[in-house]
């Protein structure tokens, strides 16, 4: 996992998660957009234009910071069936304010039983805090997202193996 | 900002393949892309809406959270405020509620899980107590861990409030399930964890509870002068103490030094951990010997403040037998009293019985 924050505020977080399942199986779960896009601590809910996640659909993202709720907006910038998707998360105050960023998931098949999930967050840090603090914050949030996604998928695989006759 | 097309929430439980649990929403085909099983959204029998059951995800998060919070809160609150009502009663009640709120299962399973959860918390506190029993901070005694006996008593006392808490947490969970409050997953737990903190802060430390005197009486088949000669402190008793007195290293005597013959004499009693310093305050030969505890160093300092004790002898049957009354006076430091007093009485009477048995054996010439 890498977390980069440039002096100009450019954010680039990347993680590669090795999954013990086929890309088809992993995609079968990642398609649950509301669930996997909510693995960020602060994403409390999603509303999608027309109720169907596909490329270009507008989003309204409910963020929750403790007792505080904030609505942000975005768009599903990419939806490739079987491969992955990406969506933007922007402040209602404008596209250059409030940490505009894009979160993306992309699956890469390794063989019939393994795949890799490429997780990426790219954007621009705008909060006036020391760079080391911003980097620590990004590291913590991104690591928890990656961990939760991995745990969710691996737990699914284990549970499905037990549930199948 | 407004949107021309309605924004709709996505389903919380999307429709899935009944065979491999592939999420089927918005697929163009009518067959599962992974296993090829056909489905028809018009027929609910051809799909499922729940993912496969992961049993440890139902139980482990709630249990782990309870145990983690329990260890931190018990250790932190006991160190800061001692074992008062907040730590002894309110904390296990809140932990029971947290456990029950966090477990998505039936009440009887929650009850079953509460026992090892509470047991593990006490076990960790006991392990801490092996290394760090108590210390001084700003003149006040701070408690970090628990001894064996206190740990067992704490577990027993905590069970009932924990069961009550389980019920409260279960009812709260049922209520919150019907609620649309989007913070119901974590905020009630946070509030429940804060309740004992606030309660302890309001309650404060118990440094001035009412002084307690407990006495035990025994009849020795020997005249008072022989009984007087047989007077011995706990540390001087020759036969092995009962199990209860061997549980704590601060009650396992090693040696004594000094004298206890006349007023003003100082006797120091050393244990495997800690020591007591006693000063003789009254000597009426053949009738009464009293002492004050002038130094208490790592001997149950977090539980009691020892004040003193006395031996009183009364002749019976024309001087052929002697009634011996052994008294211990202390200021308790644990609350609520109704919860801790029975255990304290048990420990004190056990110790008295051991001493009196030692006196009896020596006075009566029994091996």
Q: Dump the DSSP string for B52-63.
A: PP-HHHHHHHHH
Residues A38/A57, Cβ–Cβ less than 8 Å = no
Q: Is the pTM of this model over 0.80?
A: no
ipTM: 0.91
**Model confidence band, residue B56 (pLDDT cutoffs 50, 70, 90):** confident
Would the CB atoms of B10 and A33 count as touching at under 8 Å? yes
The average pLDDT across B94-118 equals 91
Closest CA to B307 of B205, B211, B216: B211
Separation CA B285–CA B227 (nearest Å) = 11
User: Chain A, 90-149: which have a CB under 8 Å from a chain B CB?
Assistant: 92
User: Does B210 have pLDDT greater than 70?
Assistant: yes
Would the CB atoms of A155 and B7 count as touching at under 8 Å? no
Q: What is the pLDDT of residues B11-51, one digit of tens each?
A: 888 999 999 999 999 898 899 999 999 999 999 999 999 88
Percent of chain B scoring above 90 in pLDDT: 52
Nearest neighbour of B23 by CB, restricted to A28, A47, A155: A28
Would the CB atoms of B17 and A28 count as touching at under 8 Å? yes
Would the CB atoms of B182 and A45 count as touching at under 8 Å? yes
Mutation target to probe the A interface, by most A beta carbons within 10 A, among B6, B34, B52, B53 is B52
Closest CA to B351 of B235, B211, B222: B235
Side by side, the strands of the sheet bearing A84-89 are: A2-5, A10-19, A115-124, A101-109, A84-89, A68-80, A58-65, A43-49, B7-9
User: Does B141 have pLDDT greater than 60?
Assistant: no
- Report the gap between the CA of B2 and the closest CA in chain A (Å): 10
Q: State in Å, rounded, how far the first CA of chain B is from the last one.
A: 95
A160 touching B, CB under 8 A?
Answer: yes
The average pLDDT across B225-244 equals 86
**Model confidence band, residue B184 (pLDDT cutoffs 50, 70, 90):** confident
Omega into B336 within 30° of 0, i.e. cis?
yes
User: Chain A, 35-74: which have a CB under 8 Å from a chain B CB?
Assistant: 44-54, 58-60, 62, 64, 67, 69, 73
Helices B55-81/B91-102 angle, 10° precision = 160
More confident residue, B1 or B233: B233
Would the CB atoms of B33 and A28 count as touching at under 8 Å? yes
Helix ranges restricted to H, B182-272: 187-203, 224-229, 243-246
User: Does A165 have pLDDT greater than 60?
Assistant: no
The average pLDDT across B187-203 equals 93
What does B78-119 look like in DSSP terms, one character per residue?
A: HHHH-S-HIIIIIHHHHHHHHHHHH--S-HHHHHHHHHHHHH
User: Does A22 have pLDDT greater than 50?
Assistant: yes
Give the single-character DSSP code of B142.
E
CA atoms within 13 A on the CB side of B333: 20
- Report the gap between the CA of B52 and the closest CA in chain A (Å): 6
Would the CB atoms of A62 and B182 count as touching at under 8 Å? yes
Q: How many Cβ atoms are within 10 Å of B146's Cβ, its own excluded?
A: 29
Mean confidence (pLDDT) of chain B: 87
Would the CB atoms of B54 and A155 count as touching at under 8 Å? yes
- Report the gap between the CA of A98 and the closest CA in chain B (Å): 16
User: Chain B partners of A29 at a C-beta cutoff of 8 Å?
Assistant: 21-23
User: Chain A partners of B183 at a C-beta cutoff of 8 Å?
Assistant: 64, 67
């Amino acid at each position: 996992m890498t977390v980069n924050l440039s002096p100009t505020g450019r954010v680039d977080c990347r993680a590669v998660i090795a999954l013990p399942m086929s890309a088809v199986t992993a995609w079968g779960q990642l398609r649950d957009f509301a669930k996997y896009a909510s693995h960020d601590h602060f994403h409390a809910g999603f509303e999608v234009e027309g109720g169907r996640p596909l490329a270009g659909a507008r989003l309204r993202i409910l963020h929750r910071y403790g007792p505080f709720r904030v609505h942000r907006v975005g768009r599903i910038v990419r939806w490739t069936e079987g491969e992955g998707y990406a969506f933007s998360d922007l402040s209602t105050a404008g596209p250059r304010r409030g940490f505009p960023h894009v979160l993306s998931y992309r699956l890469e098949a390794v063989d019939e039983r393994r795949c890799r999930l490429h997780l990426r967050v790219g954007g621009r840090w705008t909060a006036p805090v020391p760079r080391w603090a911003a980097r620590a914050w990004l590291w913590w949030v991104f690591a928890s997202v990656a961990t939760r996604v991995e745990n969710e998928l691996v737990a699914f695989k284990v549970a499905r193996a037990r549930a199948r006759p | 900002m407004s949107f021309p097309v309605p924004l709709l929430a996505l389903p919380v439980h999307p429709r899935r393949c009944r065979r491999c649990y592939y999420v089927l929403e918005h697929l163009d085909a009518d067959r599962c892309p992974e296993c090829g099983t056909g489905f028809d959204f018009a027929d609910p029998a051809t799909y499922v809406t729940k993912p496969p059951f992961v049993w440890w995800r139902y139980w482990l998060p709630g249990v782990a959270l309870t145990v983690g919070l329990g260890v931190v809160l018990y250790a932190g609150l006991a160190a800061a405020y001692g074992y008062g009502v907040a730590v002894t009663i309110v904390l296990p009640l809140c932990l029971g509620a947290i456990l029950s709120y966090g477990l998505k299962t039936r009440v009887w399973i929650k009850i079953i899980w509460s026992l090892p959860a509470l047991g593990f918390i006490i076990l960790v506190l006991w392990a801490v107590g092996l290394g760090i029993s108590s210390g001084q901070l700003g003149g006040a005694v701070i408690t970090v861990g628990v001894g064996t006996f206190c740990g067992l008593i704490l577990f027993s006392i905590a069970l009932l409030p924990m069961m009550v808490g389980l019920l409260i947490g279960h009812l709260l969970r049922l209520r919150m399930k019907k609620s649309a409050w989007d913070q119901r997953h974590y905020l009630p737990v946070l509030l429940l964890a804060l309740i004992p903190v606030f309660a302890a802060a309001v309650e404060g430390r118990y440094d001035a509870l009412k002084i307690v005197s407990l006495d035990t009486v025994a009849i020795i088949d020997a005249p008072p002068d022989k009984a007087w000669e047989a007077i011995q402190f706990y540390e001087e008793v020759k036969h092995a103490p009962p199990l209860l007195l061997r549980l704590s290293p601060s009650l396992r005597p090693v040696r004594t030094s000094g004298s206890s013959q006349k007023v003003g004499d100082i006797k120091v009693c050393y244990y495997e951990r800690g020591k007591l310093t006693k000063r003789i305050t009254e000597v009426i030969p053949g009738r009464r010997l009293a002492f004050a505890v002038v130094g208490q160093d790592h001997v149950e300092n977090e539980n009691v403040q020892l004040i003193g004790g006395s031996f009183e002898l009364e002749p019976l049957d024309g001087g052929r037998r002697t009634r011996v009354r052994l008294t211990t006076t202390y200021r308790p430091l644990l609350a609520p009293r109704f919860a801790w007093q029975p255990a304290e009485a048990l420990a004190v009477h056990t110790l008295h019985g051991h001493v009196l048995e030692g006196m009896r054996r020596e006075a009566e010439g029994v091996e």
